[in-house]
Amino acid sequence: MSKLKFRSVGECMAELQLAKDGLYSLAFGGDTLNTSWYVRALTTPQTHEVEYVTAVGSDPLSGRLLDFLKNHTIGTNFISTITDRNVGLYLISLKDSERSFTYWRSNSAAKLLAQDPVHLSGALAAANVIYFSGITLAILSPEHRETLFSELARARSAGATIAFDSNARPRLWSSEREMKEAAIQGYRAATIALPTFPDEQAFFGDATPVDCAKRIASYGVNEIIVKDGGNASCSLVDGELFEVAPQPVNGIIDTTGAGDSFNAGYLVARMANMSPKAAASLGHQVAGRVICHRGALVPMAMFSNLRAI
């Protein structure tokens, strides 16, 4: 039996989060890396090939990142090296369980992940599922963005599932208009859309999650799952509208990575041919565990009992 091939395209950054005695701990994260992490946590190397598609520098921190990915069986075969660049950095600040971010990414190598069409084509070839986000689009130049869309179209025509989370970050864009146009283009490229309602509402004016799902369906997406924090997710799949509520979660500590981990649970379930309702339920389960711990990446062992899917 051949392995299922999952590709996540985007930027992995070094993460600083306040630890004890006013010191900061170093980890790695980023929306598309977070989703890769939980896809890996929910699967085994024997059944699923999880590869991260990005670019890093030649500095020690980039080397540490590559070792980190390899040690957790996330593939690095399609990570290119840009010698005069480095890995971006972000700092997490928490107020209660809500987080805010401060970024240093102007020289991030990941901004050049799509500069080589041949390399990118090879990375996406034969993939079963390709995942990317609005942040992936935001860090790319317009020219490189078009390169990515061309390769996604090629992969989709070859039968790949293309999953997209708009993950709106206005500070990364030159204008709100550019961000919205890129998000719409992302949806048009996708077979599965995984938006977050407050983000979409803020920039597209959707009154409800149902309105959000219907608008995105108008772009040609047949499978849409609208996340809404601790509320029920709203799905519109092949014209069928339904909601899936999460189980109550006690002891929420940090919501970092909640949406990214939901996406992983959903996509792994769909790769296992589970129904969209069952997939949304698994997404909620995964996110519910993540938000009870600090940081974007919770130890993979905590999800071993969900691998039976």
CA distance 149 to 114: 10
- Examine the residue annotation and report whether 260 is marked as an active-site residue of this protein: yes
**Mean residue pLDDT across the chain:** 94
Tokens of residue 156, six digits: 């989709």
The pLDDT tens digits of the residues spanning 120-166 come to: 999 999 999 999 999 999 999 999 999 999 999 999 999 999 999 99
**CA atoms 306, 167, 247, 255: torsion sign:** positive
pLDDT at 268 over 90: yes
* pLDDT on residue 17: 79
Which residue's entry shows tokens 């985007």?
Answer: 10
- Side chain identity at 33, as an amino acid letter? L
pTM score, two decimals?
0.95
Which residue's entry shows tokens 């929910």?
Answer: 42
Which residue is catalytic, options 31, 165, 206, 260?
260
pLDDT at 253 over 80: yes
Most distant CA pair in the chain, distance: 53
The pLDDT tens digits of the residues spanning 53-109 come to: 999 999 999 999 999 999 999 999 999 999 999 999 988 776 665 667 788 888 999
CA distance 27 to 14: 6
